[in-house]
Structure 1
Amino acid sequence: MSRQQNKSMQTGAWRLNLVRSGFILIAIGLGWRLIDLQVLNPDFLRYQGDARHLRQVPVVAHRGMLLDRHGEPLAISTPVHSVWLNPQVVAEDEPRLNELANVLAVSVDNLRSRIASNARREFVYVRRHITPELSEQVRALNIRGVALQREYKRYYPTGEVTAHLLGFTNIDDVGQEGLELSYDALLTGVPGLRRMVRDSRGNFVGGGELIRPAKAGENIQLSIDLRLQYLTYHALKSAVERHNASSGSAVIIDVRNGEVLAMVNQPSFNPNNRAGLSSADFRNRAVIDLFEPGSTVKPFTVVSGLRSGLFDEKSIINTHPGVFRVSGHNIRDFRDYGMIDLATLLQKSSNIAASKIALEVEPRQLWQDFANFGFAQESGAYFPGEAMGSLPDPSVWRTLDRATLAYGYGMATSTLQLARAYTVLGNDGILMPVSFVKTSGKVRGKRVFSSDLMRQVRSMMKLSSQPGGTATRAAVSNYTVASKTGTARKAAAGGGYHEDRYQSLFAGIIPADNPRLAMAIMIDDPKGGDYYGGLVAAPVFSEVMTGAMRLLNIAPDDLPDHHLKVAQQ
């Protein structure tokens, strides 16, 4: 063998050994890496696998229910599904996207655009809160990267009847208006957390591991009596339609504890379908809208006159000739009532007599007496957007201001505040905080007037709904009613008042001798002839309270004599 051949063989052997050594080193390296991953440091692969297939998924908490005082559901969160997709899994050219778009009634171009524009994201909603039927159709398509997520949708069984009172939630079940907003913190639950396994198609499988359970929101039992709410809703709606009015509101309060038993507005809306509505449609007029209360405040003027010591129930006021000139302005009565007492003042609703009382009472005292009825103060209900109203400081009053305040001009209040003011008359001089939640135990109020004074004025107010009074259409068979009508001219935007636009008002207490309920009604801008409070608003009170007395099983206090004898037997 030549030297050259020997050298070639040595070179070939060296190369072979080098290759063998390389393979051996690679095998040793792979073996070491395998031992490292499987034995010494197994968490690495577990982490990588978990990162690709495990997700911590929020568990949606159930929102608490709103219930009426008898446990009837007013707002319920029902389980629904929402459709979402993972843009990193779903291909833009996925052939079944057309079918998905058809099922969900969305544009397939929009679907593809959302996939493309969210390529770095793993979660994009396609459509929220779909019906169970659509959920099944989406599930049957079995598209990789498209999944269903369980959520909750708020449902309002009573619809328009409680719309302004309850308000509503947004698509994420967060309170936006009304009591849903007031009590959102209590109603909202605490979300849970679950570790879920995701398959190769991007869908979650199995029950997963519960890391933290969801905590449901609290149920809240409201003071509202759904039966009275329905009665009030239908009576107010009928009156607004009958008189072609712009709007209306009504509130019923339990005089004993300040609980709101009914609150309605017209026009209303369907909280289950708010398409095409604006924010103005959601405004709770009973709490937010302010107006001059007109003659409904005359009982408060009488209270102030009696408290001053300058007047008593036998005092006679001269209203002749039916016109009273104050600071160059004429204050008029409906007709010349001549010489009248305080009870007749309320029965006939004399502006002149009320003004003469107000002009005799010291201004600061008059202001304080009105304030004691809760005007220009928070009601204690903490309803979103609640308006406090206004009661101008007496230091800026002119003589005319005092005279017109006596019959409700120059101040502003809401339907809720007016109803609350009448609870003071009904609760023998105690001002209660207003509550939308059913109370337990005794509620503390503030005594602002003597009980004897309140009973004295209530007795005078009973004449209003009796023959010869302005509120005969508010009468309730077999029950005494202490009430007052009001008819106020609407303020014009540029100042002054409209000549032919009014707000029809009524406020009353029933039964007058043993009060249980106070109700205030405001009907805005009635058209077609009738506009007096006694003709437009008073009948609403009669209709509602006739039903309320029966539903609440309140004993009659004005039975005819032969009925009284039967009852005593």
Structure 2
Amino acid sequence: MKLDGALFPWRFRLMVGLLLLLVAGIVAQIVYLQVINRDFLIGQGDARSMRHIPIPAHRGLITDRNGEPLAVSTPVTTLWANPKEMQLSKDKWPELARALGQEPKALAARLEAQASKEFIYLVRGLTPEQGASVLDLKTPGVYGIEEFRRFYPAGDVTAHMVGFTDLDDHGREGVELAYDEWLAGVPGKRQVIKDRRGRLIKDVQVTKNAKAGKTLALSIDLRLQYLASRELRNAINENEAKAGSMVIMDVKTGEVLAMVNQPTYNPNNRRTMLPAAMRNRAIIDVFEPGSTMKPISMSAALETGRWKPTDKVDVYPGTLQIGRYTIKDVTKTEGPVLDLTGILINSSNVGMSKVAFDIGGESIYRVMSAVGLGQYTGLGFPGERVGNLPNHREWRKAETATLSYGYGLSVTALQLVHAYAAIANNGRIVPLTILKSDQPPTAAQVIPEKVAKTVQGMLQQVIEDTRGVYRARVPSYHVAGKSGTARKATIGSRGYTENAYRSLFAGFGPMSDPRYAIVVVIDEPSKGGYYGGLVSAPVFSKVMSGTLRLMNVQPDNLPPPVPQQQVNAAPATPLIKGGRG
């Protein structure tokens, strides 16, 4: 019998052929992937192992006008974990908890609850040394990220101006929020290779460099900020007041040199921070300015040409009836007749109202609007309020009178200092700014220069006259200003709160060349009185005195020098011998 090696030789050959084709196909595919289309496999491999991790951008420095740092970024380490991976090393959890300063049971419960997740934060904002000590434990599933944390060297002194950032280094309050894009910078990218457990195998390259944020120089002078903060805090404590604000402004450049509020907070430790303490009251709180508006109303009267400082007004008997509404002078005036300067010195509501009736409410409204009241200041500061300056189609007597002595409108402390700065700058108003300015600003003449200088002299007499606000005087300098006391409006209803007042003082100096304007607002003083001349004027005196000396302003009110002949003729002090110390 003859055998061919198989019963069906054609089937054997078919199978061999198919296997050869299959091998040829595999070889062709290998050649295609490894030689012709090799980028595909490289891409697939990279997709499983190549990662891009962010390189944090260094947030821009915030400084005062002299380069003193107000906000700086320091490197910190953030620790995160992969709970799913950590389930395989539960024996190391107690050691990790101790290194983190956490309760072992609390950490274990958290990791168990998040067992299905692959990312949670363990702790953020550790110093690099603290982070390294935890990572040195080499606990599986625990990793670190390099970040930056904001630090504020001046603490609560500049808190309302500078603001703060959140954990992700985004601005949340103050300048940090208003100029977030300028300060933030642009994060970079680093290409690395990680294994399937997320562990770093190789740092490949930097694909995009981080771009640091830009430096921001504010207009404030940290020396003046400390001075104002200290004196305002002392005044709040001494008068047992609810709150307070103060603003110092350069009347020539429009720069805000200091802005402080009480109560305040520490932006470096916000765990116990109260929401009410975060309010920048100088630009958010609006109030009726009371008698601090009388100089502006007086400017309107002088501008009409119908009045001059020596003109007399009958204020007897200290009250004025308008229908059912009675206007009263709070303090007894010098006599039944006052000139315009006397109206300001005595803060006569009756006298101011009679002048206002003559010139009309529209004239007063126009000047108040021109000096920035009821207008947006343009600072771009978060939460800034515009206030309210009413304009009536028909000005009735009651509306005209109340506007003239500071009721029926609302302003902020920042708007009030801006208005007084216009008077101090010979009637020229300049834009406000919280940034350091090296270029002279564009000024607008909103009050005739002759009128502004006349009002300056009248306000100087308000302080220096025998019946003036003597507590506002500044040793060795001539200054000007006006006190105010305003009742607080009831929230949610019409009328005023019983025994609730704001004590105000607004002024400027030195009178030889007015340069600095200051506004002091004390909210609800409850000890010893509430009049602006009693509560806020002393604060103005101390802060203006310190400001003029810190800024090296030459005194303009020194006593005359003693003649040399009198010095030579003075008897010598006798020498006493034999005495005991």
SS of the counterpart of 2:148? strand
Q: For residues 564 and 408 of structure 1, what CA distance do their matches in structure 2 show? A: 48
SS of the counterpart of 2:139? coil
Q: For residues 208 and 536 of structure 1, what CA distance do their matches in structure 2 show? A: 67
- Among candidates 227, 251, 255, match of residue 255 of structure 1: 251
Contact 2:262 2:277 in 1 (8 A): no
TM-score (norm 2): 0.90
Q: For residues 324 and 454 of structure 1, what CA distance do their matches in structure 2 show? A: 29
Q: Please give the residue correspondences for 1:127-276 in structure 2 after superposition, counting only pairs within 5 Å.
A: 127-199=123-195, 202-276=198-272
Question: What displacement does 1:18 show?
Answer: 10
State the partner residue of 1:64. Answer: 60
Question: What displacement does 1:186 show?
Answer: 0.9
SS of the counterpart of 2:66? coil
- Among candidates 332, 337, 360, match of residue 334 of structure 2: 337
SS of the counterpart of 2:438? coil
State the partner residue of 1:112. Answer: 112
Contact 2:361 2:403 in 1 (8 A): no
Q: For residues 96 and 161 of structure 2, what CA distance do their matches in structure 1 show? A: 39
SS of the counterpart of 2:246? strand
Question: What displacement does 1:512 show?
Answer: 2.1
Q: Please give the residue correspondences for 1:239-388 in structure 2 after superposition, counting only pairs within 5 Å.
A: 239-333=235-329, 334-338=331-335, 339-388=337-386
Question: What displacement does 1:266 show?
Answer: 0.2
Question: What displacement does 1:396 show?
Answer: 5.0
Q: Which runs of 4+ in 1 moved over 6 A?
A: 6-9, 11-27
Q: For residues 89 and 30 of structure 1, what CA distance do their matches in structure 2 show? A: 38
SS of the counterpart of 1:141? coil
What do the CA deviations read for 1:294-345 (whole angstroms, capped 9, x no partner)?
Answer: 1111111111111122210110111122222222333222014321111122
State the partner residue of 2:522. Answer: 523
Q: For residues 414 and 77 of structure 1, what CA distance do their matches in structure 2 show? A: 32
Q: What is the letter of the counterpart of residue 310 of structure 2?
A: K
State the partner residue of 2:91. Answer: 95
SS of the counterpart of 2:481? strand
Q: Please give the residue correspondences for 1:505-544 in structure 2 after superposition, counting only pairs within 5 Å.
A: 505-544=504-543
- Among candidates 426, 429, 434, match of residue 428 of structure 1: 426
Q: For residues 294 and 563 of structure 2, what CA distance do their matches in structure 1 show? A: 33
Aligned CA distance change for structure 1 residues 158 and 396 (closer, same or farther; 3 Å): farther
Question: What displacement does 1:124 show?
Answer: 3.7
Contact 2:157 2:226 in 1 (8 A): yes
Contact 2:75 2:127 in 1 (8 A): no
SS of the counterpart of 2:143? strand
Q: For residues 471 and 563 of structure 2, what CA distance do their matches in structure 1 show? A: 24
Aligned CA distance change for structure 1 residues 43 and 91 (closer, same or farther; 3 Å): farther
State the partner residue of 1:440. Answer: 438
Aligned CA distance change for structure 1 residues 205 and 517 (closer, same or farther; 3 Å): farther
Contact 1:76 1:155 in 2 (8 A): yes
State the partner residue of 1:552. Answer: 551
SS of the counterpart of 2:378? coil
CA-atom RMSD, angstroms?
A: 2.6
Q: For residues 467 and 313 of structure 1, what CA distance do their matches in structure 2 show? A: 15
Q: For residues 32 and 90 of structure 1, what CA distance do their matches in structure 2 show? A: 44
Aligned CA distance change for structure 1 residues 396 and 78 (closer, same or farther; 3 Å): farther
Q: For residues 509 and 250 of structure 2, what CA distance do their matches in structure 1 show? A: 10
Q: What is the letter of the counterpart of residue 386 of structure 1?
A: E
State the partner residue of 2:477. Answer: 479
Question: What displacement does 1:278 show?
Answer: 4.5
Contact 1:321 1:336 in 2 (8 A): no
Q: For residues 281 and 184 of structure 2, what CA distance do their matches in structure 1 show? A: 26
Contact 1:235 1:544 in 2 (8 A): yes
Q: For residues 477 and 314 of structure 1, what CA distance do their matches in structure 2 show? A: 28
Unpaired runs of at least 5, structure 2 = 565-581
Contact 1:146 1:203 in 2 (8 A): no
Aligned CA distance change for structure 1 residues 89 and 415 (closer, same or farther; 3 Å): same
Question: What displacement does 1:62 show?
Answer: 1.3
State the partner residue of 1:417. Answer: 415
Q: For residues 41 and 486 of structure 2, what CA distance do their matches in structure 1 show? A: 80
Question: What displacement does 1:20 show?
Answer: 8.6
Q: What is the letter of the counterpart of residue 263 of structure 2?
A: P
Q: What is the letter of the counterpart of residue 335 of structure 1?
A: K
Contact 1:322 1:337 in 2 (8 A): no
Contact 2:360 2:395 in 1 (8 A): no
Q: For residues 558 and 306 of structure 2, what CA distance do their matches in structure 1 show? A: 36
TM-score (norm 1): 0.91
Q: For residues 140 and 14 of structure 2, what CA distance do their matches in structure 1 show? A: 49
Aligned CA distance change for structure 1 residues 564 and 62 (closer, same or farther; 3 Å): farther
Q: For residues 156 and 526 of structure 1, what CA distance do their matches in structure 2 show? A: 31
Q: For residues 563 and 166 of structure 1, what CA distance do their matches in structure 2 show? A: 49
Question: What displacement does 1:13 show?
Answer: 11
What do the CA deviations read for 1:247-286 (whole angstroms, capped 9, x no partner)?
Answer: 0000011000110000000000111111243443311110
* Mean CA deviation greater in 328-337 or 544-553: 328-337
Q: What is the letter of the counterpart of residue 289 of structure 2?
A: P
SS of the counterpart of 2:91? coil
Question: What displacement does 1:36 show?
Answer: 3.9
Question: What displacement does 1:85 show?
Answer: 2.9
Question: What displacement does 1:52 show?
Answer: 2.3
State the partner residue of 2:449. Answer: 451
Q: What is the letter of the counterpart of residue 334 of structure 2?
A: Y
Aligned CA distance change for structure 1 residues 265 and 350 (closer, same or farther; 3 Å): same
Q: For residues 394 and 27 of structure 1, what CA distance do their matches in structure 2 show? A: 96
Q: For residues 419 and 281 of structure 2, what CA distance do their matches in structure 1 show? A: 17
What do the CA deviations read for 1:403-427 (whole angstroms, capped 9, x no partner)?
Answer: 1222111110010000000000111
* Mean CA deviation greater in 387-396 or 367-376: 387-396
Q: For residues 268 and 564 of structure 1, what CA distance do their matches in structure 2 show? A: 52
Aligned CA distance change for structure 1 residues 488 and 551 (closer, same or farther; 3 Å): same
* Mean CA deviation greater in 46-55 or 368-377: 46-55
SS of the counterpart of 1:173? coil
Q: For residues 182 and 563 of structure 1, what CA distance do their matches in structure 2 show? A: 55
Question: What displacement does 1:215 show?
Answer: 1.2
Contact 1:346 1:461 in 2 (8 A): yes
Aligned CA distance change for structure 1 residues 107 and 86 (closer, same or farther; 3 Å): closer
Question: What displacement does 1:549 show?
Answer: 1.1
SS of the counterpart of 1:487? strand
Q: For residues 467 and 62 of structure 1, what CA distance do their matches in structure 2 show? A: 56
Q: For residues 271 and 562 of structure 2, what CA distance do their matches in structure 1 show? A: 54
Q: What is the letter of the counterpart of residue 176 of structure 1?
A: R
Aligned CA distance change for structure 1 residues 28 and 124 (closer, same or farther; 3 Å): farther
